[in-house]
A and B are shown apart, each in its own frame.
Chain A
Amino acid sequence: MKRSFLTAAMAASLVVSAGAVPVAAQDALEGDLTLWHTYSSGAGTELDALNAVLANVAAANPGLNVEVLEVPFGDVFNKWQLEVASGEGPDLMIVPNDSLGQLTRDGLIADITDMVPAEALAELSQLSIDGSSVDGRLMQVPESLKAVAMYYNKDKVATPPATTDELLAAVEGGLKLGLLQGIYHNFGFAGAFGGSLMDADGKCTADAGGFAEALQFLADLKAAGAVIDPSYDNMANGLKDGTYDAIIDGPWAAGGYAAAVPNLGVAAMPAGPAGPSLPFAGVDGWLINPNGNMELAVKAALAMTSAENQKIFADTAFHIPANTTIAIDDPISAQFATAVAEGFPRPQSAQFGAFWGPFGDALNKVLDGGMAPADAIAEACVAMNAANGF
């Protein structure tokens, strides 16, 4: 930590001295904060970006003491819940908005609608604000957006397939495609085939069409030679060592891929007969602990998501900033920004929580068990509705 901190601090001072927009004039923050994150040092460059931003904030607020803890992503939500529920916990943490709805309903994160000044909100994209809100209340300080798109090796793939038919043809023609066998990464295809997951009440409408065709498409890809594997490791390593020419993944890993693949390209997930792919558009943000120093935490979060600091994340870690005043230069990030803008905002309703189990299972049943996609989706819908009490 010491070594990377020093290099990050040096990088930060370079950015500051390059004449970037200074932090908006405000009273310097003072006090103690505890902060959690899940950026593990091996996978990408997010940790470096965070360290640089922290260095910036420390420089601008010498009276502010921030204690940083990295928690493994698989444990962080449980840990947060246990701690906050028993009256303790850190002051803030940065995570994707996966559980925003559930945490709100359980009273484990603070409602910060009234703590974020209007000027700050004005700089943020509407999509990020929506993704950070539950029932109209703002529950996290938005940091970045993400959606999956197709990474490809430009040396092997001249023009990336733009439609699902083209992709299938390419795979049949020898394109080495690696997909993750998970419902999150492949959700976009459902929209490409015209599927819609839930109606306004949260009742499952996936069996009305679209989803079954998407699963059939995946089965066709597999039959044509694509490798669909539940191991994230295998997919990521596969692109890096050349086993795969193309994969579908999110911007969080772009740093690692860019380092390993010299000519890296990113394209939107292929469009389908019914329109463009609609992958999940998620928002990473700072959750605030209702037990902690909320005001200070919110101010610190806003400082860390200022335009200048968001630029660091955008440049170093390929994040798509929630702040609309930042220009995205990098072609990879630009492509992800498009994917996000055209994505399907991740629902926060309680009913959505019942989506993952049944539909993940449907995917497995079709790909591993050879089940007919229509039947699998029908079953999944029934199970999801049953879990939601419909």
Chain B
Amino acid sequence: MRKTVLTLVLTLAVAMPAAAQQINLDFPGLADRAEEVVDLTIDADMLRVAAKFFSGKNKDERAIRDMISGLKGIYVRSYEFAKAGEYDMKLVDRIKTQLGPSWKPLVTVRSKKKDNVNIYADMRGDKIHGLVIIAAEPREFTVVNINGPIDIDRLADLEGQFGIPNMSHKDDDDDDHDH
């Protein structure tokens, strides 16, 4: 009996870090204050259904299909406000505190005028098994949680391709960078 319990505990201990970690992206009341809201919850089932609609013949569609093939979920919450100060910056910390020990900060960009971006990766060995992107601007707050193995360079390369408009910031200003 003791052996069975020990085996169960050990199995759970091994399985839990390997299990997909879904971050709580519930921000009560935030959507009511926002002018524009993007709220996307794409689970594994939806990803599987959508994968059939990305053509294997088109290079760009194939790239996206390959990228989403191993994912367990994509969750996006983006809020755009009419004026600055409509959300509490503590939300950023609230998300960070949910990240387990396997999550490592990849990039931190601090800017006075543009986005403050924090990118965290769920690192297991040298592979990324999940991504959390937190972008906090005075009038915009965005969180993206990609659950599953993802190639961050390919994700960045998607911009400007296949109807994904290139919206990168072109302006320069005085920013601080950490990474």
Q: Are chains A and B native binding partners rather than an unrelated pairing?
A: no
Which residues of B pack against A, CB within 8 Å? none
Which residues of A pack against B, CB within 8 Å? none
